[in-house]
Amino acid sequence: MKALVFHGPGSKSWEDVPDPVVLKPTDAIVRIETTTICGTDLHILEGDVPAVTDGRILGHEGVGVITEIGDAVTDLAVGDRVIISCVSSCGKCSYCKKGVYSHCLADEGAPGIGWIFGHLIDGTQAEYVRVPFAETSLYRVPDGVTSEEATLISDILPTGHEIGVQYGAVRPGDVVAVIGAGPVGLAAIATAGLYGPSRIVAIDLDANRVEQATRFGATDGIVSSDPDWKERVLALTDGLGVDVAIEAVGVPTTWNMALELVRPAGHVANVGVHGKPVEFPLDRMWIDNITVTTGLVNTDTTPMLIKLLAQHKLVSKEFISHRYPLTDILDAYDTFSRAAETKALKVILNAE
């Protein structure tokens, strides 16, 4: 088969690799129909995620059809259309039993890390993928939901919802700032709306993304190259700052912006994958009663989000800005990595 293979920072190629096979009785093989590219894939290519080594097939999002199952898989069948969760879970370990699938202790990739596709084992930017723990890591696509929309459930919707909105503890009436209006920030904006905030302020360097954010429920947008960006956000609060600042970029500047915007007793929810340490001004934060959270998506709200998607209660098609055949994945990466010029949000790859 063909797959997108990582060859160290800055290097990738669409090349021939062996077809995946069932290695364990709990595995399934999925023929990819639709996959996409995540901001995290860009971080990997920049060398920010050193656990990804030369030869790894990238990608942790996708929808496809099961072509083979191991002997222990009884709830899924060949022919089922399934969403591949970016987090794999055995369903049996102590973390899985608590719903913290992101830290599944099973011996796949590395025990204790649930995000393994395109990281510690081969991923979904390929014609076929081997899915460990198929029964607890795959979700059937509900009727009436397209593969393209279902692909948003693999990662961005649960990530924005769980690590942004739930960890940030968004409550009715809150003013929420989302720094970074890429697909993950937009997913946080879309799912924050489920909790009744009074304002959602989208902040990004990219004016197009700030503008797009209103389609996802942002009430206000600030382009952060504006020297008055901070005053403009504070003017949307009672001057004291936002109740919840969600960081969805992953660089020191935006982390600092989140700390600058949050009001006393507010929450900073960091979603971005950081490649470098950041300043953590505890000397100021303690007396301001700031709660800081961060994490790897747990995917424990995936079934709920699938239900909302099936009922058309979540913004979904609006995420998709470009479509390419899977074989043109290098062009798709180019488009996604130049989002400010190309106006890319989620770039969808469809197998032919």
Residues in contact with Zn ion by CB under 5 A are 38, 40, 155
Residue 3: name its binding partner from ligand NAD, Zn ion, none (Cβ under 5 to 8 Å by kind): none
In whole angstroms, the minimum distance from the beta carbon of 147 to ligand NAD comes to 19
Separation of alpha carbons 204 and 222, rounded Å: 7
Separation of alpha carbons 131 and 266, rounded Å: 39
Q: Which of 28, 84, 134, 181 binds ligand NAD (CB under 6 A)?
A: 181
DSSP state of 281: -
Instruction: Tell me the number of residues near ligand NAD by CB under 6 A.
Output: 33
Matching residue, tokens 């949000």: 345
Q: Which is nearer to ligand NAD, 28 or 186 (CB)?
A: 186
Segment near ligand NAD (CB under 6 A), from 118-126, 191-199, 244-252, 301-309? 244-252
Q: CA-CA distances (angstroms) from residue 232 to 40, 212, 219, 250, 313?
A: 30, 19, 13, 22, 31
Pick out residues in 37-56 that bind ligand NAD (CB under 6 A): 38-40, 42-43
Q: Which of 272, 324, 326, 332 binds ligand NAD (CB under 6 A)?
A: 272
Query: Who contacts 220 (Cβ-Cβ below 8 Å, separation ≥6)?
Result: 199, 200, 201, 202, 236
Site string for ligand NAD, 67-106 (x = CB under 6 A): ----------------------------------------
Plot region of 295 (φ>0 → left; ψ -120 to 50 → alpha; else → beta) = left
User: 102 near 119, Cβ under 8 Å?
Assistant: no
Segment near ligand NAD (CB under 6 A), from 89-97, 131-139, 251-259, 317-325? 251-259
Q: Which is nearer to Zn ion, 26 or 40 (CB)?
A: 40
User: 177 near 245, Cβ under 8 Å?
Assistant: yes
DSSP state of 223: E
Separation of alpha carbons 151 and 352, rounded Å: 16
Q: Which of 150, 249, 290, 314 binds ligand NAD (CB under 6 A)?
A: 249
Residue 116: name its binding partner from Zn ion, ligand NAD, none (Cβ under 5 to 8 Å by kind): none
Strands (E), the chain: 2-6, 12-16, 28-36, 62-69, 81-84, 128-131, 138-140, 175-179, 199-204, 220-223, 242-247, 262-270, 291-294, 320-325, 346-350
Plot region of 3 (φ>0 → left; ψ -120 to 50 → alpha; else → beta) = beta
Residue 93: name its binding partner from Zn ion, ligand NAD, none (Cβ under 5 to 8 Å by kind): none
Q: Which is nearer to Zn ion, 100 or 233 (CB)?
A: 100
Q: Which residue is nearest to Zn ion (CB)?
A: 38
Does residue 177 bind ligand NAD (CB under 6 A)? no
Segment near ligand NAD (CB under 6 A), from 127-135, 146-154, 248-256, 300-308? 248-256
Structure tokens at 74: 């009884």
Does residue 250 bind ligand NAD (CB under 6 A)? yes
Q: Which is nearer to ligand NAD, 128 or 167 (CB)?
A: 167
In whole angstroms, the minimum distance from the beta carbon of 233 to Zn ion comes to 27
Does residue 155 bind ligand NAD (CB under 6 A)? yes
Plot region of 179 (φ>0 → left; ψ -120 to 50 → alpha; else → beta) = beta
Q: Which is nearer to Zn ion, 35 or 40 (CB)?
A: 40
Interface positions with ligand NAD (CB under 6 A): 38-40, 42-43, 155, 159, 163, 179-185, 203-206, 209, 224, 248-251, 253-254, 271-273, 296-297, 339
